[in-house]
Amino acid sequence: MIKSFTAFSLTLVLAAVGGPRNADAHAATLYQQIGGEPKMRAVVDDFTQIALADDRINFTFAETDMKVFSRLLFEQLCNITQGPCRYTGRSMLEAHKKLNITNAMFNALAEDLYAAFDREKVPYRLQNRVMVLLAPMQHDVVKVGAGPHSTIGPTASASAPAPDASPPSPQH
């Protein structure tokens, strides 16, 4: 029984892990595999459009300079995917402190980013590898106890990534 169980799990894991792989995956950074600067900038532009049209989260951008936001989001995505960029915005914790972000809002943003990657035809498994780097930020972004009835909106003073109001966070 244990033997068949082991064989079964191994087969599935191998089938899954041994699936389609980029031959040069070991050499290229995730940033390069996605398509470098032009692709990443396109994703950020798409994302900004999608997020601003998304009623679940667009009110958090009410007082955000979207030009600055796009620049910082590009820097961040480029930086965490080992691209040649430096993130000059505030830390995730600092930037979201006053926003009462819920898990549902964090997930809505993730869905919008998936949608932006889809629009630019970035393969799903590469999208997930970016999400690996973003998912742990949930701890800093989501406010514990933030509920669906928290009053966010026009009075919110900042959005994230927020304009460079504090010293740049150190590079990885």
Partner 1 sequence: MQGSRVRLRRFALRDRLISIAGSLLGSLLLFATVAHADGILGADEGKLLMTGAFSDISGSAGGGLVPMALITGYGSQNSWGANAHVTDVRLHDFNLLSYGLAAAAFDRLELSYAKQQFDVVGTALDGISIRQDVFGAKLKLLGDAVYNQNSWLPQLSVGTQYMRNEGIDDADHVGHAGLVSPTQLGARSDHGWDFYAAATKVFLGQSLLVNVVGRATRANQYGLLGFGGDLRNHYSFKPEASVAYLLLQQLAVGGDFRANPHNLSVDNQRSSFDLFVAWTPTKNLSLVGAYVNLGSILAPVTQVTRTQDGPYLSLQVGL
- Which residues would be at the binding site for partner 1 (CB under 8 A)? 1, 4-5, 8-9, 12-13, 15-17, 19, 102-105, 107-108, 110-111, 114, 118, 124-125, 128-129, 131-133, 135-136, 138-139, 146-148
Nearer residue to partner 1 within complex by CB, 149 or 167: 149
Residue 68 beta carbon to partner 1: minimum distance, rounded to whole angstroms: 27
User: What is each CA distance from 35 to 22, 39, 65, 116, 138, in whole angstroms?
Assistant: 13, 5, 26, 14, 26
Residue 134 beta carbon to partner 1: minimum distance, rounded to whole angstroms: 8
Query: Is 152 within 8 Å of 139 (Cβ atoms)?
Result: no
Nearer residue to partner 1 within complex by CB, 100 or 159: 100
Residue 85 beta carbon to partner 1: minimum distance, rounded to whole angstroms: 21
Query: Is 47 within 8 Å of 127 (Cβ atoms)?
Result: no
Nearer residue to partner 1 within complex by CB, 53 or 144: 144
Nearer residue to partner 1 within complex by CB, 12 or 165: 12
Nearer residue to partner 1 within complex by CB, 137 or 156: 137
Residue 50 beta carbon to partner 1: minimum distance, rounded to whole angstroms: 14
Residue 47 beta carbon to partner 1: minimum distance, rounded to whole angstroms: 15
Query: Is 147 within 8 Å of 102 (Cβ atoms)?
Result: yes
- Cβ-based burial of 157 (10 A; exposed 0-12, middle 13-18, buried ≥19): exposed
Largest separation between any pair of C-alpha atoms in the chain: 61
Tell me the C-alpha distance between 80 and 86, whole Å.
9
